[in-house]
Chain A
Amino acid sequence: MAATSTAPSLPPALADAVRDDASLRRFLHGLPGVDQVGVEQRAAGLGTRSIKKAAKLWAIDTAISMVDLTTLEGADTHGKVRSLAAKARRPDPERPDVPKVAAVCVYPDMVATAVGELRGTGINVASVATAFPSGRSSLPVKLADTAFAVEAGASEIDMVIDRGAFLSGRYGQVFDEIVQVKHACGDAHLKVILETGELATYDNVRRASWLALLAGGDFIKTSTGKVTPAATLPVTHVMLQAVRDWHTQTGDLRGVKPAGGIRSTKDAIRYLVAVHEVAGPEWLTPDLFRFGASTLLNDLLMQRRTQLEGHYSGPDYVTVD
């Protein structure tokens, strides 16, 4: 690995794992495998939990507070970002008691606009970086992309890993990139997007999760939302297990963010149940779990009203931004 990369301080057992390319490979390939049938069965089983009444209302409010409200389109405009920021501040204008979302997630050139709109609200501005979504560029470009977003005021950076390098076994390269992007982030939190839809196996998801954690990622994130499949429950199970194991070994708490494809309250609650029972209750906070989503928020708002008012009012009663 490049001598320039300053790896984060790790407990001795793990520090050894990142000493060089060969140790990193040995470590990642020495992780216990993930049995596909087993993890899918467990995810489906936990998916049958029945969350009702007060527990459901709590889950809806918690899920709202965990949303990274996202727009990542070529067609994004400053106006669109401004209205998204307004939605983030007051998700349901008629009900000021609805919690605000965790963050607004945009492309780097939109960060300044979002920061201006959200100053003083406590809502974070997240920006994708590192040649999102493909990650196909040179390291200097990726670092410049990151620096641009951070300088514009982003407090969270969602980077993509180089899946090509990962799949061809160049783990050291992926590690170094994450370390350097983390360095470029400064105080901004780093979410590492694994793009699990391209990693294809659960074993790879586990290895990539550990790789990102070792390199100092504050969050591991499933997907860009530009690749199918995006987030799935079993993949999120594997990642939640990784942060839990990380905590057991280091005492350090890292977060998980599924992104893409989570559109309904029912889905969101299934994810929260997984957070609760696979990682543990201490992960049920926006500091450690986020939903990357655009349409989920409105369904959460509609279901929240249904819970409180006793009837469903439909999509025309929530704002479309």
Chain B
Amino acid sequence: MWEYAPAPESRDIANLKPDYRMFVDGQFVEGGGEPLKTINPGTEEVLAEVSTAAPADVDKAVKAARRAYDRVWGRMPGSERAKYIFRIARLVQERSRELAVLESLDNGKPIKESRDVDVPTAAAHFFYHAGWADKLGHAGYGPDPKPLGVAGQVIPWNFPLLMAAWKIAPALACGNTVVLKPAETTPLSALVLAEIIQQADLPPGVVNILPGAGDVGAAVVSHPDVDKVAFTGSTDVGKVIQRQLAGTGKKLTLELGGKAANIVFDDAPLDQAVEGIVNGIFFNQGHVCCAGSRLLVQESVAEELLEKLRVRVSTLRVGDPLDKNTDIGAINSREQLTRIEELTASGEAEGAQRWTSSCPLPDKGFYFAPTVFSNVSQAMRIAREEIFGPVLSVLTFRTPDEAVAKANNTPYGLSAGIWTEKGSRILWAAQKMRAGVVWANTFNRFDPTAPFGGYQESGFGREGGRTGLEAYLDV
């Protein structure tokens, strides 16, 4: 039998330092908060100590951002801003290996994903938005749309660098300044992005990065001098923020949870549908808000498709995130692992049929073998709640109308997938889908030119594309 030899990327490439500090007004400074230790979820070892922000630091950062906005960035011509953003994009590319390894160490995602998806897409977002900076008058928001001011941004742990890029690039392109809080468990790549921002010679205060827990995020979004809030994370926190901001006049965009349906019709290209299902739910360990966590498959092909799916999932390699052949890395934290275990237990208790890949798991670190539940009904928790892990719930349908009804039967509405070789059915189903992003015969494709965002409890506002600029303009 052919065993692939270990092919680990060297962790030295990450240039890991023993401690990291927050980035305020162009300087790396010690924060007043309790320092946090960030760990490698693949091994449970401590990677580095990171200083966090106290309330006074948040105030200092917002003041710095305001100053930078008033004096430099807000009045700088777009063509000049573009030069800085292009510089950031090129530096992200230059340091891409370092960023990829660091991201995999801190987050647990496989190196092939951080290398081939996260980092290149992050660079692409800076490139794309740099191009907009001097063309905002042609974006459809009037001849000379104005920025909003200071943007307070809070991002999640599933795509630490990519989410920072999604947030920072459009804000800067439109002329805003930024105070960003990375997730508590994954602060490192955002702080290396801060180094890049320093290297790119951005004026002090244009971008400020404040690590910390939820309290820091709360302080950032509720700071009276913040004009715009952008949050990506859980629906619960999103609701708290929305409540807090009501009546303040702050502009808000939220990108929250999801429970996306991947609908496979009986005339689908089955082998590629299997690939799309695998990509939809096992990409990034399923830590994807737009993950295709509910598979809706037409009864006439369900058995064949599920058999193919199990065979395919059995080939997924779970293990060391730094190994270049790893398909599924580590779950980001013990807390998240516990939640996945709890929800899968509820699936079994509620009578769904569980199948779990027999792949070997490492002894240390947080790992969860890819799991597929069949015989799932809409009433079960695993069909309604976001699991945010490598767990797929399979439901079946008989008619296209039933598929659409089941797909839309969720409080969320972030993404959906449609698999059929019939073009008219794609268009019909896409129109019926209450989801911000609909993929046809593919899944989890991201591009800076395509707007991304949700319906209902998945949030509002769009990121990316021309539409995404609106969130950072006074229109």
Contacts and interface: CB of A to CB of B under 8 A. Distances in A.
Interface string B271-311: 11001100000000000000000000000000000010000
A225 to B, nearest CB: 27
Interface stretch (B1-9, B124-132, B224-232, B382-390): B1-9
Nearest to A282: B1
Contacts, number: 69
A58 B2 CA distance: 8
A49 B271 contact: no
A-B residue pairs, 3 tightest by C-beta: A38-B272, A50-B7, A35-B272
Contacts of B95: none
B269 A34 contact: yes
Nearest to A280: B311
Contacts of B307: 248
A80 interface: no
Interface in B298-326: 307, 315, 324-325
A181 interface: no
A39 B271 contact: yes
Interface in A206-222: none
Interface residues of B, number: 24
B325 A33 contact: no
Contacts of A32: 267-271
A241 to B, nearest CB: 5
Interface in A1-58: 32-35, 37-39, 41-42, 48-56, 58
15 contacts: A32-B270, A33-B421, A34-B271, A34-B272, A35-B441, A42-B272, A42-B275, A51-B5, A52-B6, A55-B4, A58-B2, A59-B2, A241-B271, A248-B307, A276-B2
Interface string A92-109: 000000000000000000
A48 B112 contact: yes
A38 B2 contact: no
Contact of B3 (A35, A42, A55, A272): A55
A49 B269 contact: no
A164 interface: no
A284 B2 CA distance: 9
Contact of A48 (B6, B270, B324): B324
A277 interface: yes
Contacts of A62: 2
Contacts of A58: 2
A300 B373 CA distance: 44
B93 to A, nearest CB: 18
B272 A52 contact: no
A301 to B, nearest CB: 20
A116 interface: no
Contacts of A38: 269, 271-272, 275-276, 441-442
Given A32-B270, A42-B272, 9 more contacts: A34-B269, A35-B441, A48-B116, A50-B7, A51-B4, A51-B7, A53-B5, A248-B307, A276-B2
A39 B315 contact: no
A50 B325 contact: yes
A72 to B, nearest CB: 30
A37 B442 CA distance: 8
Interface string B1-37: 1111111000000000000000000000000000000
A56 B5 contact: yes
A33 B269 contact: yes
B368 to A, nearest CB: 21
Contacts of A277: 315
A281 interface: yes
Contacts of B441: 35, 37-38
Contact of B5 (A34, A52, A248, A272): A52
A242 to B, nearest CB: 10
